Copies of this chain bind each other. A is one copy, B any other.
Amino acid sequence: MAGSKLDEIDRKILAELQADGRMTNVELAKRVGISAPPCLRRVRTLEDAGYIRGYHADVSARDLGFEVQVFAMVGLVSQAEVDLSVFEGKCREWPLVRECHMLNGEVDFLLKCVAPDLSTFQSFLTEQLTSADNVASVKTSLVIRCAKDVPGVPFEILEERVRQLESGL
């Protein structure tokens, strides 16, 4: 269940497609060292098994006019499961909210938001988020700049672990 059913070729396929999701299948096959048909079969299998959830173009938010990125730390009044779910449902409906993570610790949820400008975000903050039922507190932090934003997982770490497991047989 923890990546154990994948062999080295599967992991290479995932790593390559994570790095370049538009690569042609023949190019991918060449890189992982098999021919195209089995390579495509593996990709389909990985997709169907849920290892690959989709493919997305990484668009530049800033260039598209989304100049504001904000992290919002949200505390709720009630942390009963029903109330958590209700809040999560709202987050899914708010387009400005791109990520909603439930955390341990002082704060209940961490939200990543984008907006075209500060006033758009402020409207959302006061009219939607802060005034939503069950929301006790909201603390926001503007992103000044982003030093790193890489998608997915570090396959280097995965390979390292596999090597350790194999040597420890």
Contacts and interface: CB of A to CB of B under 8 A. Distances in A.
Copies of the protein in its oligomer: 2
A57 B19 CA distance: 7
A19 B21 CA distance: 13
Given A61-B153, A65-B158, A148-B97, A102 B143 contact: yes
A157 B103 CA distance: 28
Given A52-B57, A52-B58, A98-B153, 13 more contacts: A2-B63, A2-B64, A3-B65, A14-B64, A21-B55, A51-B59, A52-B59, A59-B153, A64-B158, A95-B154, A105-B142, A110-B141, A151-B151
Contacts of A57: 14, 17-18, 21, 52, 54-55, 152
B18 A103 contact: no
B59 A18 contact: yes
B102 A3 contact: no
A97 B152 CA distance: 11
Contacts of A80: none
A161 B56 contact: no
Given A116-B161, A148-B99, A56 B59 contact: no
A40 to B, nearest CB: 12
